[in-house]
Structures are given as structure tokens and as C-alpha cells.
Amino acid sequence: MTTTLSLLNHHLSLPLPYLLATTTEGEDYGKALAVSIALVGLSIFIFSRFFEEIAARIGLPSVLGDLIAGLVIGVSGLQIVMLEGGEINPALSHLIEILANSTPEQVQAVFDVPIPIIVEEYAEFGVVVLLFLIGLESDLKELLKVGFQSASVAIVGVTLPFILGFVGLTFIFHIPALPALFAGAALTATSIGITAKVMQDIGVLKSKEGQIILGAAILDDILGIVILAVVISIVETGEIDVFNAIRLILTAAAFMIAAVAMNRFFGPWFITQLEKLKSPNSRGMGSFILFIFLNFLAGVVGLEPILGAFAAGLILGGTKAREDLIDGVGVLSVIFSTVFFVSIGAKTDLSVLNPAIPANREGLIVAGFLIIVAVVGKVAAGFFAFSQEKINRLGIGTGMIPRGEVGLVFAGLGAATGALPPSIDVGIVLMVIATTFLSPPLLRLVFDTSESPAQPVPSDADGSS
């Protein structure tokens, strides 16, 4: 399975016409494929909307609803979306046979190859769109206002969990280096959206602590994506090449520094030039072309296209078109990132968590270890927010805990490489779920105004995500 997210070769491809044109199984097979795509698509979006609504009503992030939807309709549940092979739900198979006038063998053949390919293609497109949106929403001006404190928190919050996770998995649990690298990379993430929403709900978003958390979360995303790009490249080469890793880090750093610089100069100029064009939707289409080009460029220089997507968002995030682009890209993200998050849940085999099976017990212990490192590593980072003012350092560290959708991006890409054994894959997903659930009550506890008043800042922070 390819691990490089090539936008030009994969994300914008239309697999259905290609598969129909090259298949030799006949008209009934084509009908079975069409009906299967429709039913799988309906299942993904109906179940995701249902569980997202439940999550919203009880005050939890919507991404958890998508993940639970995947668990329900995937290999651990109803077996409607089977992305790793295996027999599908007999009732679904029988329904497709009736609607398409096909045989059980044809239906199973559809779910063995074409359906997983199609779902994975759209899921991968959901990754790059999501990273583009995160880049657009990242406010570099807010990062600079509390730059020193945010940078110190972010650097410690990335390096400490990464090192603790990697060292612990390799030396304590004897996990191979590549799965340990992916698990360590997943521990570096911080969900801006989840943290901002919780802080807004408890009224500390505009405090200095809130500003530091948001700035550090933005930088976390940048550092985490760089680490992820390096780790994926290491997986693709099949070995840990120190020279190549250093080259990739320097290339990624140069790529991101250029993107930050272009945020101020090139981005506004580019949007102005697009507005001079007479054709309709020039601004949106031109921005989309830049998005595709930077995905392609990142791949050419040896980086993951997700880094190009994020860079494109950063460049355009400082322009007057930012809000319109966020609205437009948000629609794409809702559709395709939903497929991505549901697909992660669908591929998660919870049977590895059965403690009655001896082989599974190590996986549960590993999951517990990852959760501890995930919490301790970020909380400790909060105490590196050096300031002469009295600030709630415990609150800052707690605000960095949730991994949310960003952590799931790491988990999904790790699973796509085939480098993760089931216990590590599920352990990462459980870590994401646990940190996301723990964050809201912990934030409310540590920001109790009767004990730790948050200091407001005069400037207004944009906490939307």
C-alpha cells in the first residue's frame, strides 16, 4: 500500500469510472459496485451525523462522533465498511444482491478491492483538506504576541512526549523502532479546535493563559507535522538514515519558514492579483491551484504533501480572503474529513483489547502507557511558560492535553503505512479518545477562578477554529 499522499495521482482521481472501465466482471458487477458505493457512502454520513449530534448534545467534540460511527459500522461493529478485508455484513450483502441482481461472489469482490480503494482515496483527500484548513485558521499574529512563552511550551510539549513515548516503547515494551516513532509522533499533537472551544465555554479564551495555549497549539501543529513528515519518509525508505532525517528536517524547516514569510508578503499580493481577473470564482480557484501546487512541491522535495497543504493554508491565512476561504474549504473538510475519521474507526479492531486473549494484554498496557505519557508530557510543558507575571502554568499544560482530530491524523497515516501492529494502532486511538475526554473536565478544574484567576490581556484573541 502506498504511503505517500500524492494529490495529483490520488486525491483528485476518480476511481469509480476507472474501475468500471477496466473491470471484466460484467454489467452485474458494475451494478453491484454502484449500489455498494451508494450504501457505504450513506452509512458513513448517516452514522457520522447521528453520533456527531449525540456528541454535540453532551458537549463533546464532533470528531469523537465520527470515530464512534466508524467503530459501529466497521470491523468491530456492523461490518458495513470493511477496509482491511474480511466478510461484510450478510444482511448488507443480501440487500446488494437484490438491488443489483448480482451474486454473493461479485458483492464480496467489490468489497475486497474497489470499495476500500475508493474510501481510502477520499479519506486521504480529507487529510490534506483538513491540514489546509488548519493552516488557514492558524493566526501567526497571535503566536507572535506571546511568542516566547508559546514557543517554550510548544517545544517542550512536542519533544518531551515524543522522547518519553519512543524510549518507553522501545526499551520497556521492546516495540520496533518504526511503530515507536509513529506512536511518539502522535503524542506530539494538540487539537486547537477542542482546546479553544473548551476555553471559550469556561471564559478563559481571552486570558494570557489562553493566548499562550493557542500560540503553543499552533506551533505544536507545525512541529508535529514536520516530525510526521520525517517519520513517514523513514518508513518509506525502510531504514533510519540519520543523514536523510537531518536533510528532511532542514528541508521541512526551510519549507515552513518560507511559508511563514509568504504569509505576510506573497499571500496578500497573490489574492490581489486573482481579484483582477474577470472570470468568476478566480480567487477561490486560484487558491485551490496554490494548494495543489504546494502539495506537489512538497512531494518533489521529499516531504509529505500534507506539509504542502498546511503551508498553503498558512500563506493564505494572512489575507483578506481568509474567512471566505475557511468557509469554502470548511464544506470540503466536513465531507472528506468525515470519511477520513470514520475510516479510522472502521479499521480499528477492538478485539485486540480483549484481555481474555493473552496476546492482547500487552496492547492494553501499551495504551495505558501512551495515555500517561500523553497527559504528563503536556502538563509538564505548561511549567516552561516562563513569565514574570503570575500565570496558571498547570492550566496551560492542561490546555495542551487533547489530541483530537490532529492525533487521529497521525494515527490514520501510521496505520496507512502498515508499520503499526494492531495493538499500537488501537493504543494510539485510545490515547486520542482518552485525552479528548479528559481535557474538558480537567480544564474546568484547573481554571477554577476562585483559586487560579486567569489574567486577561488587552488584545482580542481569535479562538475560533
**The three grid cell numbers given for residue 64, joined into one nine-digit string:** 469523537
352-388 in b/e form (b: 16+ CB < 10 A) is: bbeeeeeebebbbebbebbbebbbebbbbbbebbebe
Q: What is the pLDDT along the chain (465 residues), one digit of tens a residue?
A: 333 334 334 433 444 444 444 444 567 788 888 999 999 999 999 999 999 899 888 877 777 888 889 989 998 899 998 887 778 899 998 998 889 888 888 888 888 888 888 998 888 888 888 888 878 877 667 666 777 888 899 899 999 999 999 999 999 988 888 888 888 988 988 876 677 767 777 777 667 788 788 778 877 877 777 777 777 777 776 666 667 667 777 887 788 788 888 888 899 999 999 988 888 888 889 999 999 999 889 888 877 777 888 889 889 988 888 888 888 888 888 898 889 888 888 887 777 777 887 767 777 888 899 999 999 999 999 999 887 778 888 989 998 998 866 677 777 777 777 777 877 878 888 888 888 778 878 887 888 643 444 554 444 434 433
Phi first, then psi: give them for residue 207, nearest 5 degrees.
Answer: -75, 165
Model pLDDT, residue 229: 72
Distant-in-sequence, close-in-space partners of 243: CB < 8 Å, separation ≥ 6: none
Q: Return the pLDDT at 26.
A: 64
- Note whether 75 and 84 are within 8 A (CB): yes
Residue 138, all three cell numbers: 492558524
Q: Which fold has domain 123-446?
A: Na+/H+ antiporter like fold (1.20.1530)
CB 406 within 8 A of CB 191: yes
Taking the domains of the chain in order of start, what are their residue ranges?
Answer: 7-118, 123-446
Structural contact between residues 398 and 376, judged by C-beta atoms closer than 8 angstroms: no
Alpha-carbon gap, residue 122 to 24, rounded angstroms: 24
**Single-letter amino acid code for the residue at 64:** L
The residue among 93, 91, 82, 50 whose CA lies nearest residue 69 is 50
d(CA 10, CA 124) in angstroms, rounded, equals 8
Does the global pTM surpass 0.95? no
DSSP conformational letter for 207? B
